[in-house]
Amino acid sequence: MERHGSPPADYHLHTPLCLHAVGDPADYCRRALDAGLEEIGFSDHSPMREDGFDSWRMRASELDGYAEGIGRLRAEFPRLRIRLGLEVDWLPGQEEWIRELSARRPWDYLIGSVHYLAGPWALDDPAAIPERRRRDAWEVWSEYFDRLSSAAASGLFDVMGHADLPKIFRFLPDRDVAPLYEGFVAAAVAGGVAMEINTRGLRKDCREIYPAPQLLRMARGAGVPITFASDAHAPEEVGKDFAAAVALAREAGYAESCHFSGRKRSMAAFR
């Protein structure tokens, strides 16, 4: 039976500017077309106000070149709708900087991601695995979801990135995390923000899409819309595992996903 709708848009692609992704952005576009996608969005790691905060993001002076480079791809790939986004780190006290960033270019959307907890230390950095062994998993998850909920409620973002990132290295609390999910979903409703289904988790130790099915079902119940995301850091990862992402979305009750243009959201059926 033929399904209605468009192929999912892959709204989470990186570029080598962040220093840990590889491949020419044009090759990400070619791969998207080969995979049958009609729409993609680049969302590379945004700069901090001070360069040198860490070693996995573009410098502040590279932001305009990034945006212009994506603009040139639009001319080169007229059959592909190419959106311009950023994956912005949420850290307490950075709100003013995030507002400045959002005014710098005509972004189609901003993804808000929590990678850092107080220290700061990054949850998804393998170098922090010893730190995670020492820490109580429930405390880490609680701190993470507090931050994620603040970010979601801030109104600064269009989409929340990889919502249950703390599972990445499988340090899981022995307590029910549903109350953490509930707090986040309420914040996402309050902030009017979407959540991505991010397949990168399948390629990490957790071997599971972000977010877990339970969190996705709660989001669906509360009316939080979704986007699709490979979180590609190499051309061959564009659209990766999207059949699994679509199946997960359908199981949770979704039939439509969000599209963004100039930070305006519209909904369309996916297939």
Using CB under 5 A, list all residues that contact Zn ion. 231
Is the Cα torsion angle 117, 124, 257, 254 positive or negative in sign?
negative
Decide: 70 and 105 in contact? Cβ < 8 Å: no
Residue 43 CB, shortest distance to Zn ion, in Å, is: 8
Measured from the CB atom, is 164 or 231 closer to Zn ion? 231
Q: Which of 89, 158, 196, 231 binds Fe ion (CB under 5 A)?
A: 231
Measured from the CB atom, is 113 or 227 closer to Fe ion? 113
Residue 55 CB, shortest distance to Zn ion, in Å, is: 11
HSE-CB for 266 with a 13 A CA cutoff: 7
196 near Fe ion, judged by CB under 5 A: no
Mask: binding to Fe ion, 110-139, rule CB under 5 A, as x and -?
---x--------------------------
Mask: binding to Fe ion, 71-110, rule CB under 5 A, as x and -?
----------------x-----------------------
Q: Is the peptide bond before 211 cis (omega within 30 degrees of 0)?
A: yes
Residue 74 CB, shortest distance to Fe ion, in Å, is: 21
> Which residue, chain included where needed, has tokens 């573009």?
58
Burial of 68 (0-12, 13-18, 19+ CB in 10 A): exposed
Distance CA 123, CA 39 (A): 30
Q: Which residues bind Fe ion (CB under 5 A)?
A: 87, 113, 231
